[in-house]
Amino acid sequence: MVSNIKNVFVVGSGLMGSGISQVCAQSGYTVYMCDISKDALDRAMKNINWSVSKFVEKGKLTEPVETIIGRINPVTSYDAAAQADLVIEAVFEKLELKKEVFENIDKIAPKHTIIATNTSAISVTELAACTNRREQVLGLHFFSPVPMMQAVEVVKAMTTSDETFKLGEEFVKSLGKEPILVKKDVPGFIINRINFPATMEAMRLVEAGVCTVEDVDKGLKLAAGRKMGIFETGDMVGLDVTHGALMAIYEETKDPRWYPPEILRRKVRLGHLGRKTGRGWYLYDENGNKIGVADY
């Protein structure tokens, strides 16, 4: 643990928020996982329990499941942010929503509290501008699935102090993960800035009838050593999340190369968002198991 961070307040209990809450609890931090929906919190706690149990069964965690889960406190209001040393925002990739979270947290959290965003593409500097603690705002961009992925981008906004940036790096290391230092707040940061062009090109090739979703994923796993293909990853993350991230980069840069391909825009409009809706690039059963390829 980082000595001056004991309590972590996570805003959002979806795929990313619950994963961040889990890895923080596994590393000894007291966690407050916040969501407006109690049902969403219940689902998140159930998924975290399952995930932690698997790590314990495999001998990757030595503490009992109950001890780790006991560090996570599900809450439906921001009140517990008054006890936070670090807040990590992990809500949907929508600028206005994130701004609202930052403004509310800034009013409640103590003066020493650092506020981080898990955004994959939105300007950290713009979010920092919503607060009265601009030097204490940074990006902590985790990758999905959080418990498994070792990289975390630590993003320095224009206003982030060197002390805050260093603390973010130390915090990531305390989770047993590797910090990727992003020293300038550019749209998409580093990893997505590299990955998104390949993802969009894969979509365009499928859209043009050059290849199938299955062959793209199979080829990348066999030829490029990827554990998951582009479309499998997209379904896990959520097509709406990818769309939101691309639009954020496009709106920031006005560069047409970042505008989401038509096939992605169409699927998002139809509500075919991936594993969470049962249909994305692939089809899934009620337990999230892949059962076929979706029409595209």
Active site residues: 120, 141, 153, 192
Q: In which order are the strands placed within the sheet that holds 137-142?
A: 72-75, 30-34, 7-11, 86-89, 114-117, 137-142, 151-155, 178-182
Nearest Cα residue to 110 out of 84, 80, 78, 137: 84
Q: Distance (Å, rounded) from C-alpha 8 to C-alpha 33? A: 8
Nearest Cα residue to 120 out of 102, 143, 97: 143
E strand or H helix at 280: none
Q: Distance (Å, rounded) from C-alpha 148 to C-alpha 202? A: 25
Residue 94's SS3 state is: coil
Contacts of 200 (CB under 8 A, 6+ apart): 246, 260, 261, 264
Residue 254, phi-psi category: left (phi > 0), alpha (psi -120 to 50), beta (remainder):
left
Spell out the long-range contacts of 255-258 with Cβ–Cβ below 8 A and sequence spacing 24 or more.
257/197, 258/187, 258/188, 258/196
Q: Distance (Å, rounded) from C-alpha 239 to C-alpha 150? A: 22
Alpha helix ranges (H) inside 91-146: 95-108, 124-128
Tally of CA atoms within 13 A in the half-sphere of 23 that contains its CB:
24
